[in-house]
Copies of this chain bind each other. A is one copy, B any other.
Amino acid sequence: MRTALVIGDFARATHLSVKTLRHYHRVGLLEPAEVDPHSGYRYYRLDQIPTAQVIKRFRELDMPLDRIAAVLATPDPAARNRLIAEHLDRLESELARTRDAVRSLRDLLAGTAAPIQVGHRSVPATPAAVVRDEVTPETALSWLRGALGELSATLLAQGLTAAGPAGGLFPDVIFTEQRGEATVFLPCDGPVQPLGRVRPDVVPAAELATTLHLGAHHDVDRAYGALAEHVTRHALAVDGPLREYYLVGPHETAEESAWRTEIGWPIFRAR
């Protein structure tokens, strides 16, 4: 009992604030070794200091409290390391995103970005293999990567050939509501058999205002902005999903700077 620490002592020992320690108790992340049932005083043991330090490190890495709890509750070191590695991966991709955002911000502010060319194009109805799923803007990119991979693999397995570049359909609600049902498709020269998430379907014909976006996908909003401006200025707006064609995409190369994406915005039929 002489080695029990009241909350203030434990705060000094761990550099976690008293408020934080109470919060961790409330949510069950770090329970005091003993709580006086009368006074409510929390008592911590010395051997809880290392646990508190580990929690503190995870928080410095912005790991959510429930994930920290999950890590601490995982006794198997391999499974535990997997959870940690996952988080470090997430951190790293966030870091990459930050780097991209810095570069993109510099471009925007410097006004050095190339002006965006808008053209018009008619696409016919096209038989294709498709994957359809509920996505959010954050999950969209990795979902796209996986779905494109699955489509290519399925066509290959069924002896079919791609009859054009892969593409995607994104209904408005994805942008206004931050989630909705997106479609990726890969046109093919014969009917695909349903397998996994892959289904046969026909991508509808469309009249599109288009622009070509070069490089990584994270700053396509400039292309979208340019199309929106064009379509509005010329009073061409019409309902329908936004469309992307992956001329060079994640299924061809991991080198994002080499990607070429055609963005299409639905418009009135030109003639």
* A interface with B by C-beta (< 8 Å): 2-3, 5, 7-9, 11-15, 17-19, 46, 49-50, 52-54, 56-58, 60-61, 84, 88, 91, 95, 97-98, 101-102, 104-105, 108-109, 137, 172, 175-178, 220-222, 224-225, 227-229, 232-233, 235, 237, 242
Contacts and interface: CB of A to CB of B under 8 A. Distances in A.
A95 B61 CA distance: 10
A175 B2 contact: no
Contacts of A54: 105, 108-109
A99 to B, nearest CB: 10
A228 B5 contact: yes
B232 A46 contact: yes
Given A17-B177, A18-B177, A61-B105, A9 B225 contact: no
23 contacts: A5-B232, A12-B175, A13-B225, A13-B232, A14-B221, A14-B225, A14-B228, A15-B224, A17-B176, A17-B177, A46-B229, A50-B108, A52-B225, A53-B221, A54-B108, A56-B221, A57-B104, A57-B108, A60-B101, A61-B102, A84-B105, A88-B102, A95-B95
Nearest to A179: B17
A236 B153 CA distance: 68
Given A15-B175, A15-B221, A175-B17, A61 B101 contact: yes
Most buried by B among A18, A56, A58, A175: A175
Contacts of A46: 228-229, 232-233
Contacts of A101: 57, 60-61
A232 B3 contact: yes
Nearest to A46: B229
Contacts of A242: 12
A114 B69 CA distance: 27
Contacts of A50: 108, 225
A104 B60 CA distance: 10
A222 B14 CA distance: 8
Contacts of A2: 232, 235
B105 A237 contact: no
A105 B9 contact: no
Most buried by B among A56, A137, A225, A235: A225
